[in-house]
Amino acid sequence: MPEQTLRSVVDSESAFQKARQLMPGGVSSPVRAFKAVGGTPLFIREAEGCYIQDIDGNQYIDYVCSYGPMIVGHANERVVAALSKAIGRGTSFGAPTESETQLAQILVGALPGLEMVRFVNSGTEAAMSAIRLARAATGRDLVVKCIGCYHGHVDGLLVEAGSGALTLGTPSSPGIPKSITGNTLLAPFNDLEGARKLFEQHGKNIACFVVEPVAGNMGVVPPAAGYLQGLRDLCDQYGTLLLFDEVMTGFRVAWGGAQVRYGVLPDITCLGKVIGGGLPCAAYGGSRKIMELVSPAGPVYQAGTLSGNPLAMAGGIATLEVLQEGGCYEAMERRGAMLAEGLIDGAQSAGVPLALNRVGSMLTPFFTKTAHAVTNFAEATSSDTAAYATFFHAMLDNGVYLAPSQYEAMFVGTAHTDAVIEKTIKAAEKAFAAVRAAQER
């Protein structure tokens, strides 16, 4: 790709105008429209490694990474080779393939909470299906979710949600009957005492407690010490199933995900993003006893024509094979820490209040005056979103692409070298100076 030149967005602006005539807001997913940060969304032409290039010819270091999946870099040689081989055999059959079994074997071997899995096409599908399964397995109706956690645009879970719903200031959505959300209970993330009180009041009717073990959709918020184990104990006490939404954290924060990193096993796990290697793919799984309730083995119906798509299976297998090679997670951990330290130092030098949260290769700089790491939804949403918008655009001007929202993660992958991290830190120093100047005006 060519070196960065003076940034223009003329072609992206033209493309956005055309797109808005044909698609709501001009996009296929809300946060892409840049409404939270202002300006024109970039229309991407191509990507390679940790770099993306827009249709105006601007090149950026990419920390969005398609919101996590591109962990081994864009157009990774081994992933491309696997996809090229697969596409030559056909794109979809509506019938079983051995590649499904191969990817399932990798997942079951990596996650101690899995004995069987069912493939679907998106994290939303995985969460929706997993909750249906939990209700069937327990004979109960109520579901507990955490405020600020996002589990896809499922009707019953789009209540006090994170991700795009939080970014756009719409924590719930019209079109969802109260009779559906009436079965959803809310708990503050990282508040074990609050969860305990919910169980004391409703425990015998709670089918599952669904949680991102590391919150990633209000920005990155790690679990407090003992929080996940405390949820595990409560669920065991009340006969409730613990559901980990590892769509973002699975194979991202560790080989095997957050349940391996923190040593707490859920009853049901949702996976996505990384396991498809950049193609539409997700899964849910758990013990054999629970999963054999799913049709056709059992009575819980769930189906999908494109589930287990051979291209998605090939991309996922190739990506996970790359990650299995020694040193990948150690390198991402080290570079994630390197980037975090550089951002903290840059903010301090510029006199910009900043709290930075990191878990492995996921991190979020929060423009908040809290003196400690952000621990919950209330602290996350105290962030200065105008400061983030200034930082975002200054980073773009210096060749770094971040998520167009304060409430998302930055993702470091295997393609982000030490030199790339150092370049990012230098860009951030200029961006923090721009934030400081804007705050002084």
CATH of the domain at 42: 3.90.1150.10
Instruction: Name the active-site residue from 60, 273, 388, 401.
Output: 273
Same domain, 436 and 347: yes
CB of 357 closer than 8 Å to CB of 253: no
Same domain, 282 and 222: yes
The burial class, CB within 10 Å (0-12 / 13-18 / 19+), for 305 is exposed
Same domain, 165 and 282: yes
Residue 366, SS3 per DSSP: strand
Burial letters for 337-364: b for 16+ Cβ neighbours within 10 Å, e otherwise? bbbbebbbebbeebebbbbbbbbbbbbb
What is the count of structural domains for the chain? 2
**Residue-level pLDDT at 370:** 78
User: Residue 72 falls within a domain, yes or no?
Assistant: no
Same domain, 304 and 353: no
**Residue-level pLDDT at 172:** 60
Please confirm, yes or no, whether 197 is among the known catalytic residues: no
Please confirm, yes or no, whether 273 is among the known catalytic residues: yes
Please confirm, yes or no, whether 204 is among the known catalytic residues: no
Q: What pLDDT digit, counting tens, does each position of 53-87 carry?
A: 999 999 999 999 999 999 999 999 999 999 999 99
366: which 2 tokens?
């929060």
Other Cβ atoms closer than 10 A to 43 = 19
- Domain end among 324, 345, 365: 324
Checking if the pLDDT of 170 tops 70, the result is no
Q: What pLDDT digit, counting tens, does each position of 200-258 carry?
A: 999 999 999 999 999 999 999 999 999 999 999 999 999 999 999 999 999 999 999 99
Percent of the chain with pLDDT over 90: 86
Instruction: Name the active-site residue from 60, 63, 67, 150.
Output: 150
Burial letters for 265-299: b for 16+ Cβ neighbours within 10 Å, e otherwise? bbbbbbbbbbbbbbbbbbbbbbeeebbebbeeeee
- Domain end among 281, 307, 324: 324
Q: What is the pTM of this model?
A: 0.93
Instruction: Name the active-site residue from 191, 245, 267, 384.
Output: 245
Same domain, 338 and 361: yes
User: Residue 146 falls within a domain, yes or no?
Assistant: yes
Longest dimension (CA), the chain: 65
User: Residue 381 falls within a domain, yes or no?
Assistant: yes
CB of 309 closer than 8 Å to CB of 280: yes
* Torsion angle in degrees (nearest 10) through CA of 60, 61, 66, 67: -120
